[in-house]
Amino acid sequence: MSNNNSFEETKPFLLLKSMPALAKYCHSKRFSLILLAVLLFILISSSVFFYFKSSKSVNKILLARESTLNAELTKMENVNDFLEAEILILKRQVKDLSQKKDRKKLQKISKYLADSNVDGRGVQISLKDSHSLFSPAQDESTIVHNTDLLKIVNFLWSYGAAAISINGERIVFNSHISCIGPTILVNKKRINSPFIIKAVGEKLNENTIKNNTFVLSLKLRGIEFEVTQEDNLHIPAGKYATFME
């Protein structure tokens, strides 16, 4: 027997040889179409399986991200609740101290709460952008920035200021002084040059402020800086306190 015949006999085609009708059917077009349909079914089923498997993976990632964001939101809400509780406690302490007439302690806390008007002796500072003809138009050092106001507020606190306002806006413990284009935001209110800073405090001294190192640097930049001693300054209450009433 030849090698070819021996090879064919080891094949499953021996079954077809023994069943001529089956062999004829397998060679028909109908069989080919059925085989093709089976292959397509397997391919489509595999695609659908992997699609749903990948969709589940994406959903798991989205759910994990949502859980993380919810946890962060809860954390921020807790911080906000804590700060509101802290403000309530401070306001309650102010009322208690008022009843006990502990004026020294009351003044110390009210400085940060800023929930009442303050009148008294202090200093008034005026800052203006440079208008010198020798100042370059594009030189930002010749204009007053929010950082300049922040530094002035800080050294006024250090000099013993009991209350501070900028263009009528009371500076409280959570005040924001930021720069938005050509204007400055103080407590979300836009203000422009000139900037009028009022500070009430018995220890505030006009000459000390004039000789402050930062004030001298402002003058070198061409910023117009003036400070006057005032006996009767009025600084309004902080607006933030109204929502707690």
pLDDT on residue 244: 37
CA distances from 11 to 8, 19, 26, 97, 174 (A): 5, 14, 15, 104, 88
Residue 195: the pLDDT is 95
Residue 164 pLDDT level (bands cut at 50, 70, 90): very high
* Domain range list for the chain: 1-113, 117-244
pLDDT of residue 153: 93
Average pLDDT over the chain, rounded to an integer: 77
Q: Is the Cβ–Cβ distance between 115 and 238 less than 8 Å?
A: yes
The amino acid that residue 108 corresponds to is K
State phi, psi for 103 to the nearest 5 degrees. Answer: -65, -35
On the question of pLDDT at 152 being above 90, the answer is yes
What count of other Cβ atoms lies within 10 Å of the Cβ of residue 175? 18
77: amino acid identity, one letter: E
Helix (H) or strand (E) holding 15: helix 13-18
| φ, ψ for residue 125, nearest 5 deg | -115, 135
If you ran DSSP here, which 8-state letter would residue 175 be given? Answer: -
Q: What tokens appear for 92 in the block? A: 């309650």
Report domain 117-244's class.
alpha beta
**Cβ within 8 Å of residue 33, ≥6 positions away:** none
pLDDT at 60 over 70: yes
Which structure tokens are listed for 172? 């409280």
pLDDT at 194: 92
Per-residue pLDDT of 64-102, as tens digits, reads 777 777 777 777 877 777 777 788 888 777 777 666 666
Q: What is the pLDDT of residues 165-196, one digit of tens each?
A: 999 999 887 788 888 777 898 888 889 889 99
Determine the Cα–Cα distance for residues 168 and 185; give it in Å rounded to an integer: 13
Q: Collect all residues with Cβ–Cβ distance below 8 Å to 170 and sequence separation of at least 6.
A: 114, 163, 164, 187, 235, 236, 237, 238, 239
Q: Report residue 31's pLDDT band, with 50, 70 and 90 as the boundaries.
A: low
> Per residue in 99-125, pLDDT tens?
666 666 666 666 666 777 889 999 999
Reading the block at residue 110, the tokens are: 């009210």
Write out the two tokens for 11: 């094949």
Tell me which of 240 and 155 has the higher pLDDT.
155
This prediction's pTM: 0.54
Please enumerate in sequence order all residues whose Cβ is within 8 A of that of 222, keeping only pairs 6 or more positions apart, or say none: 130, 132, 135, 141, 142
Instruction: Tell me the percentage of the chain whose pLDDT exceeds 70.
Output: 67
CA separation (Å) from 170 to 38, 42, 180, 196?
Answer: 80, 75, 19, 12
Q: What confidence category does residue 150 fall into, taking pLDDT thresholds of 50, 70 and 90?
A: very high
